[in-house]
Structure 1
Amino acid sequence: MNWREGVSGAAVLCAAAVLTLGGAPAAFAEDGPGGPANDEPPVEIDVNSPKLLMRDGATLAKPRVIDIVQVVEEGGLGGEGGAASSSPPGGASESPSPGPTQTPGGGRVAEERREESNEKTKFTLQAEVLFDKNSSKLNAKANARIADIAAEINKQKASKVSVYGFTDNLGSYENGVRLSQERAEAVHKVLVKTLNDASLRFDIRGYSEDYPIASNATEEGRAQNRRVEISFSRAN
């Protein structure tokens, strides 16, 4: 896929030092496959530092490296003038689109988002990129976008793929469940046809307005919540 400039999140490494109190087991973030991504030692922590404000008898768990996450956002539906457009953008192989979706309130919403970590890859597609309003029928440009994601699934040698649909909170919850499920299934059908791998397992779900990633109080937020997520584990 032709990923354009606009990395919106930086990879962050943190050494997680967790307190163990009263004999309770320590909890900490798990490493990704293969452990830490580099050979650098964990950050050294002075256990005697008064700034830790530890209770008497408390100890530090072994430092761990939190999974690396990188986020890339791709352009959107809006034109240079500013108003949101109802027409879908060009496929990833075509010339770059003008920029993220611009909502009536002036907000900007990325049409596609890719999250990479040591453990998995997740693509989030704005619903308007794939479907017309209140429709679960894929538009003319949707197949090319889904095919690009299928190529990445094949490249990563994934064995299981999750396809989840989401809506905003407008309309009834039941209608949102139906629409989000039908949209997830529509994307799933294209993935199955494109990948042609009988051993690949899929998890297809529609969540309606559950699990919003933005506020439903604004059109910008609702546009972000209307989405389809495709995720899969990275091969070890």
Structure 2
Amino acid sequence: MSTMRPSRSRFTVQLLALTALTMTLCTGTRVQNAAASPYEDGSGLALRSGATLAPPKILDLGSDPVGISRVVGNRDGAERRTDTNTEVTYELQAAVLFAKDSGRLSDSARSRIAAIAREIEQRAATRVRVTGFTDNLGSSVHGDILSTQRADAVRDVLTDDLRSEAVTFETHGFGERRPVASNATEASRRENRRVEISFVCRAPSPSV
């Protein structure tokens, strides 16, 4: 004679009822609807009868105020521009701007910086940060001095081109600190010898 086993759902209801009774005896607290049959949505997850799922939350991925939106560089890597929602940064290799071990700008460098000054004006920027960097050749003291001289030289051209008291400048020379490449090869050291010009935008890009 075969013995019929209770169904799985009946066993579940009995187990929940026993749990509710145990909690009542131990804590004196009555559990409401503890033995209510669960509802399965097909995903393997169960909801108590009468319960509802919370509405899904939609993530706004476009609201990041500082997320990088675009990075553009020329083919030889001598110049790179990074745009975020609030700031533009130009990264110019020192070889484009200066002779070797020099803090004096070339004539071609002045015209390039003048173009950046025009964008600073168009974007209604009032704060500009100019930062110089070197590779790790030579002493760190020499690198600090040279990178500061180069940052100051770029700032001076921007100041002359903008001729605006509304724009304030911040300059730094970090020498060999904060490299973007390993300094293991001449190609990587060339990447580290650079000047960065950053400004906070208060007006949209004229190309938009």
TM-score (norm 2): 0.66
Which structure has the larger Rg over C-alpha atoms?
Answer: 2
1:166 shift after superposition: 0.2
> RMSD of the alignment, in Å?
2.2
Distance 1:69 1:200 in 2: 25
Paired position in structure 1 for 2:70:
70
SS of the aligned residue for 2:132 comes to strand
Q: Render the CA deviation track for 1:81-103: whole Å, top value 9, x for unaligned.
A: xxxxxxxxxxxxxxxxxxx1xxx
TM-score (norm 1): 0.59
Aligned residues: 147
State the identity %: 44
1:234 shift after superposition: 1.3
For 1:162-201, what aligned pairs fall within 5 Å after superposition? Answer: 162-201=129-168
1:62 shift after superposition: 8.1
User: Are 1:132 and 2:83 counterparts?
Assistant: no
Distance 1:181 1:158 in 2: 23
For 1:64-213, what aligned pairs fall within 5 Å after superposition? Answer: 64-65=60-61, 66=64, 67-75=67-75, 100=76, 110-213=77-180
- Conserved in 1, the CA contact under 8 Å of 2:68 and 2:82? no
1:173 shift after superposition: 0.5
1:130 shift after superposition: 0.4
Distance 1:62 1:222 in 2: 45
SS of the aligned residue for 2:107 comes to coil
Paired position in structure 2 for 1:217:
184
Distance 2:179 2:83 in 1: 20
Change (3 A) 1:62 1:170: farther
Q: Render the CA deviation track for 1:66-118: whole Å, top value 9, x for unaligned.
A: 4242111124xxxxxxxxxxxxxxxxxxxxxxxx1xxxxxxxxx111111111
5+ residue gaps, structure 1, are 1-47, 51-60, 76-99, 101-109
- Conserved in 1, the CA contact under 8 Å of 2:117 and 2:162? yes
Letter in 1 for 2:74: E
- Conserved in 1, the CA contact under 8 Å of 2:88 and 2:198? yes
For 1:51-70, what aligned pairs fall within 5 Å after superposition? Answer: 63-65=59-61, 66=64, 67-70=67-70
Letter in 1 for 2:137: L
Distance 2:118 2:163 in 1: 11
- Conserved in 1, the CA contact under 8 Å of 2:147 and 2:174? yes
5+ residue gaps, structure 2, are 1-42, 46-56, 204-208
